[in-house]
Structure 1
């Protein structure tokens, strides 16, 4: 049986069920990821940080907190795994398939050295495409992609996609068996994932573990925090003084082992207050959701520009590449993502 707390949000007064600014929040998070990469791809260093925590790093955490909240909302209100599965697949895969086809047909032959037809027909090229689409490790693209660039990598941000899909699956399992239907059990899962992430590096030598272990618990902690917020409506309206207090603790102790935890709590509070405001601004409600397109397209397009004009600085690459990837993200939303999402209604 779903807890009382889980049913409380089903009111017209709750902006989570009506007008909110979460689309804008996703734009801002995607923008911070791109902003860091303007510097990383040209200087090798992302300067936008407090202590060691960069803006792009924390933006990924923010994405997973929002995702956990909205996924829990979807599971609890629909209670239909068929519709849920269709929605998740249609949200992630159509745009991902397109960008991976672009890798095989455009990026591999044109933006590699030596490139050309051999890369277009290479089994290595298409095995990489398949590897990414089946949620394998997207690092280490073949064919000397972007050879000569400071960062010789096709699309660094794709590393989070497989963790997002794992979170969708595990959330559905937890909901089906009842663990995610109550605040108490959801809170226990979040506490456990967070404790493992924070304490594991201080207990054992994590270099001997698979490289995916710590990122899994890091992003699971963020995702589960969002799920907790679904069951705890009052926590979705944190007072400004509490956000300021947690941020103050982050400024004081953020360089230590609890730094990321405090930063994530501060960011979550800020996203909630700005994303679920008392009054909405109508033009922002009509903002199309280009965030996923910006997230998956900005990096290869930055790299493509630098492949041909290698001496650009971060401001120059920002000015040149931003219109390109926003345009491509817009095309992705209007021609691929939005039409794909309409299909879920037929399935439902």
Structure 2
């Protein structure tokens, strides 16, 4: 079993890429990477896919190393909710008053201010806006990053079901995934769109899309001794992905075929770079700032646009946002997330 890895470093890079990915839509500018990828891969989406591959590996490991479903669930809850709650407090009671067009008395007396905390449920009824906040911006969401947390938590539940059904029978899990993936590709055009799953209010296509990356991470954990990680494998994975662009663009296959091969190419590339041995294996010794970057970046980028307008060049916005977000992520890790994770020992 592979022990040392660069997961902390790759998550840090992915979280940083989220800042880059948000700068385009928040300013109403075209996403350069999305244009290069024929509109198939927004830069922010790249980061989320990377997160889900790593999460699939680590979360399955967490469940199999937990003595019970209850212990596993509590450990997952400690990883998400304390940091999220403090981020909601910061957004509602620091960012909101600074950016609102309301008077402070009207802002703090508005019910919408407190309904924003509906986001702590992960499956909120609200759309995540605050009264009078960012109304002049291209988008008025107070924290538009939080929507993916519901998909992440849903996959945590999926792991519970998968372990219950397939523990010691993982070959059937693999067979089931292959069958599902074939059906998914065949029905791809039908599944795409804005179909919302009742009760949990998640987009069906997003759930399947993120879920495939997550499951591929799970499969790597299960079959890591059989999957070779080689430089030529990484080159082949990337090459197959790029060649698919040529084939699909020439009309021999639908453009969606690029996405089908991309699932496997990205998953392999993430795992290849994750397990390269070197000094980055110890990157996590400094702390895990990726979650903090992810949950604080959006409101910080929004308030930068609110104060400076969207005339500031993209690279300057990214650098300024990162300079503000990184100390917040440091605080979140050292004074919220890390202290909360100490309670994991109660559920071993």
Three-state SS of the structure 2 residue aligned to 1:113 is coil
Three-state SS of the structure 1 residue aligned to 2:160 is helix
Among 171, 179, 197, the alignment partner of 1:184 is 171
Give the conservation status (yes or no) of the 8 Å contact 2:6–2:281: no
Moved more, 22-31 or 196-205: 196-205
Partner of 1:162: 150
Three-state SS of the structure 1 residue aligned to 2:214 is helix
2 CA distance for matches of 1:235 and 1:145?
52
Partner of 1:87: 75
- TM-superposed CA distance for 1:143, in Å, is 1.5
Partner of 1:5: none
Report the RMSD for the aligned CA atoms in angstroms: 2.3
Q: 1:116 and 1:221, CA in 2 relative to 1: closer, same or farther beyond 3 A?
A: same
Partner of 1:290: 289
- TM-superposed CA distance for 1:30, in Å, is 0.8
Question: Map of 1:303-322 to 2, 5 A cutoff?
Answer: 303-310=302-309, 311-322=311-322
Q: Deviations over 1:203-232 (max 9, x none)?
A: 467456556111111111111111111111
- TM-superposed CA distance for 1:115, in Å, is 5.1
Q: 1:120 and 1:172, CA in 2 relative to 1: closer, same or farther beyond 3 A?
A: same
Partner of 1:346: 346
- 2:17 is the alignment partner of 1:44: no
- 2:216 is the alignment partner of 1:225: yes
- 2:2 is the alignment partner of 1:22: no
Q: 1:329 and 1:250, CA in 2 relative to 1: closer, same or farther beyond 3 A?
A: same
- 2:254 is the alignment partner of 1:252: no
Q: 1:74 and 1:283, CA in 2 relative to 1: closer, same or farther beyond 3 A?
A: closer
1 CA distance for matches of 2:6 and 2:142?
32
Partner of 1:119: 107
Give the conservation status (yes or no) of the 8 Å contact 2:194–2:203: no
Moved more, 109-118 or 53-62: 109-118
Question: Map of 1:206-217 to 2, 5 A cutoff?
Answer: 206-207=193-194, 212-217=203-208
Among 222, 230, 236, the alignment partner of 1:239 is 230
- TM-superposed CA distance for 1:194, in Å, is 3.4
Three-state SS of the structure 1 residue aligned to 2:129 is coil
- TM-superposed CA distance for 1:185, in Å, is 2.4
2 CA distance for matches of 1:87 and 1:198?
35
- TM-superposed CA distance for 1:290, in Å, is 0.2
Give the conservation status (yes or no) of the 8 Å contact 1:157–1:295: yes
Structure 1 runs (4+) greater than 6 angstroms displaced: none
2 CA distance for matches of 1:219 and 1:302?
25
Count of matched residue pairs: 332
Give the conservation status (yes or no) of the 8 Å contact 1:20–1:277: yes
Give the conservation status (yes or no) of the 8 Å contact 1:297–1:325: yes
- 2:175 is the alignment partner of 1:175: no
1 CA distance for matches of 2:11 and 2:142?
23
- TM-superposed CA distance for 1:26, in Å, is 0.5
- TM-superposed CA distance for 1:137, in Å, is 5.6
Partner of 1:136: 124
- TM-superposed CA distance for 1:186, in Å, is 2.3
Name structure 1 gaps, 5 residues minimum: 1-8
- TM-superposed CA distance for 1:42, in Å, is 2.4
Q: Deviations over 1:85-117 (max 9, x none)?
A: 111000000010111122332233331223522
- 2:332 is the alignment partner of 1:332: yes
- TM-superposed CA distance for 1:37, in Å, is 1.4
